[in-house]
Amino acid sequence: MSLKESIENKDIALIDILDVILDKGVAIKADLVISIAGVDLVYLDLRVLIASVESLVQAQQGNDKTISSVQFDKQREDLTHATGQPDKWKN
């Protein structure tokens, strides 16, 4: 496996996704209703930043399944455990 393939197949952390999709991108100003360009990552809750999923692997394998709620629940449990603040996750 080439170096590229091994990196491509790695899990990608949400922080890296947000770093890319929120921080920079094309801005077409004319008649644009919304662009959440100004969101500053610093203010994002730490909870979301610890999580990482196999989204790239899924994309690689052409697997159309998005992250299942089971996976989310599992991550949530892990995070709850990690932060020691179980109530934070309740709606």
Q: Contact residues for other proteins (CB under 8 A)?
A: 2-4, 7-8, 10, 12, 14-37, 39, 41-51, 53, 55-56, 58-59, 66-67, 72
Yes or no: say if 36 and 22 are a contact pair by the CB < 8 Å rule.
yes
In one letter, which amino acid is 25? G
Q: Six-digit token pair at 33?
A: 């209703």
Least spacing, CB of residue 54 vs other proteins, in Å: 11
Q: Which is nearer to other proteins, 32 or 70 (CB)?
A: 32
Q: Which is nearer to other proteins, 10 or 74 (CB)?
A: 10
Contact 74, 33 (CB under 8 A): no
Nearer to other proteins among residue 45 and residue 87 (C-beta): 45
CA-wise closest residue to 81 among 56, 89, 8, 30: 89
